[in-house]
Amino acid sequence: MIAQKRLRDRGQAFPIYVLVVAGLLFAALAFFAVGQASVTRSNAQGAADAAALAAAREARDNLVPGLDLAVLKPEDWEDVLDGGRLFLAKGCGAAPGFAAKNDATAQCTWEALSFTVEVTTKGTVGESVIPGTDSMHGTANATAVIEPRCYLGSLAPPTRPADPPDTGSEEPAPIKIRCKGGKDIDFDPLKPNPWRTLARALFDVRLAD
């Protein structure tokens, strides 16, 4: 009788054991799916960050076509230094290419000195015990901003010959630009640096908080 009772107890416990093992296995697979989703989301965020920064840098490095820095007056430089004359629309054109490098597509919008990019990964989370993950793409967005870091200082002392030849027009004076960190930039209209080089000293690009 005792042996038969033990056998019955074992027979009753076996289904419970199977259910517990099955539940643990399902939970493990579910956690794996969540981990895969997290990786996909992280990839999307990385693509969004890279694309937003690329858009902002492209805008910073390009001014309005045809703008000649050598002929700008001080009041024009004030407009340049606050970012008002940056050719902002061109920046968004760089976002899709950088998103593609991260296996994603991107949509970019801009306002003032801010670029927002929304990306969708081309890959999905993949098949799992959770329904629908095989068609679930990672999505994320990021915003990058261009921050002016310089302002117009006093005009630098003239460096031209004391008695230049009369050409009928006044030569533009050098422009002194003061930047954060105590660094000054002396812009010589007669020997202008390329805008791309100058822009990287005048403006910072960073992801918005």
Sheet strand arrangement including 184-187: 150-152, 175-179, 184-187
Predicted pLDDT of residue 56: 93
Domain ranges within the chain, ordered by starting residue: 2-67+75-145
pLDDT, one tens digit per residue, over 26-49 is 555 555 555 565 666 777 888 899
Least trusted range by pLDDT, from 26-30, 75-79, 120-124, 135-139? 26-30
Pick from 112, 114, 113, 118: nearest CA to 95? 118
For residues 92 and 11, the model is more confident at: 92
Max alpha carbon distance in the chain (Å)? 126
In the chain, the N- to C-terminal Cα span, in Å, equals: 73
pLDDT (average), residues 45-70: 87
Q: List Cβ neighbours of 113 (8 Å cut-off, separation of 6 or more).
A: 56, 83, 86, 88, 145, 146, 147, 148
Tell me the whole-structure pTM to 2 decimals.
Answer: 0.71
